[in-house]
Chains A and B, each alone.
Chain A
Amino acid sequence: MEPRVAVVGGGTGGTIVANLVARRVEAEVTMVSRDAGHLYQPGLLYVPFGWVEPEQLVRTQRSLLDPRVRFIHDTVLAIDPANRTLRLGDGELTSDTLVLATGARLVPDEVPGLAEAHHFYTPTAALRLRQALDEFQGGHIVVGVAGVPYKCPPAPLEFALLLEWELRRRGLREKAKLTYVSPLPRAFPIESVAEVIEPVMTRRGIELATFFNVEEVDPSRRVVRSLEGDELDYDLLVLIPPHRGTAPVVADGIADRGDWIHTDRETLQVTGYDGIYAIGDTTDIPVSKSGSAAHFEAHVVADRIAANPNGAAPTYTGKVMCFLESGEHQATVLQFDYNHPPRPAAPNFAAFAMKRLFNRAYWYLVPPGRV
């Protein structure tokens, strides 16, 4: 009997693993996803500005999968990790190798009042923010994150920089004050990146409030308060909600208190369970929650599944490569791993052109596992 490989989750990581394994191994590969569509999440950044429509960021999951992959559109209600059995909305699925790529979920309710704030991490929220920006006539805009960890660490900073640029183009910059709130003592988690981007923020008149870990929002008074005891008033508030791992998939002992799955940072195996891997946002690995990390992890897991049991098994080195777009047709590239911090160049046009090209080429390059 052919080995059975089950992949849960139809995001970037899950799709790459399913396709690569189906192509390389004589195996029965099944993907289970609760979504029939595959969303290119990085593109949501442009939706509030009206530069992209959410429909342009979605393809059907089936169209991205190798024909040999069986696709089940269903929800995983529970896992029995000892037997690698998934209980689905309709029936059960047992496999020899299980790959959990279930992503992160947004939990705005964990911060009082946050549900009233804006963000752009779902198509609905991004369109609601677009409407608020279209109606904006001036005032104080506060941008930041309401919890760590969160997906795509550059995204809120990119949003603030793109917003500053867009307000100038709309003739509203003089009427707006912009503040970026960071949970850290700098604008970006990685110091070498903060050193490049903070001078850009200063030049563009974006104020920076550091050590601001959002504790609560008071929409009636339009005030946001921090864990550290600071307060900011706002007219428009854009805060990325806190994230958690994906709950229905969590079995006892497999995840931490944030629902992030305990995962070996090199082998990507779920701690204590041979034959179960976890990749992407849902792991507790200390790398950024991003499509890029999921992408590189997916290649490692596919290589491990395809490897000769007696040969050397590849490991994940913590590799991430992503872009930070700063408006004015400029961006910079961040590339790093567990042992090498990024050394980003100053924002430039070449990196911007590369990012925009990647946004279009994603569908042809990434889900099939070509890069």
Chain B
Amino acid sequence: MAVELQETKVDRTIDARGSYCPGPLMELIRAIREARVGEVVEVLSSDTGSRRDIPKWCEKARHQFLGIVDEPGFARLVVRKAR
């Protein structure tokens, strides 16, 4: 999964590290709205809450959560706009 994810073409990266307000999830929702269907958006987040909130939102909003890549001090959360 991780290797596959590393090779996924990312259309847009949002650096939300250190963001508490409006926060990585809000940054993601904004990017998903602006993205075209099928595009992959990656959020860099140092907020541990993102690991829970972002997959939960993707499920509710029916976008495809592709996974998490752990990096030193932060995580890359990768999402494909599905509809």
Contact = CB atoms under 8 A, between A and B. Distances in A.
Q: Do A and B bind each other?
A: yes
Nearest to A338: B18
19 contacts: A148-B26, A148-B30, A149-B22, A185-B53, A185-B57, A189-B21, A189-B25, A211-B56, A211-B57, A228-B60, A229-B62, A256-B34, A257-B34, A258-B30, A286-B18, A286-B23, A286-B24, A338-B18, A342-B20
Contacts, number: 69
B61 interface: yes
B29 A190 contact: no
In the complex, which range does the number of interface residues on chain A fall in?
Answer: 20 to 34
Contacts of A149: 22, 26, 30
Given A184-B26, A191-B49, A339 B18 contact: yes
Contact of A185 (B19, B30, B56): B56
Interface of A: 147-149, 153, 183-185, 189-191, 211, 213, 227-229, 256-258, 265, 286-288, 318, 320, 336, 338-339, 341-342
A153 B49 contact: no
Nearest to A256: B34
A209 to B, nearest CB: 12
B5 to A, nearest CB: 23
B61 A189 contact: no
B22 A153 contact: yes
B44 to A, nearest CB: 10
Interface of B: 14-16, 18-27, 29-30, 33-34, 49, 53, 56-57, 60-62
B20 to A, nearest CB: 5
B61 A320 contact: no
A148 B23 CA distance: 11
A30 B72 CA distance: 45
Contacts of A227: 33, 61
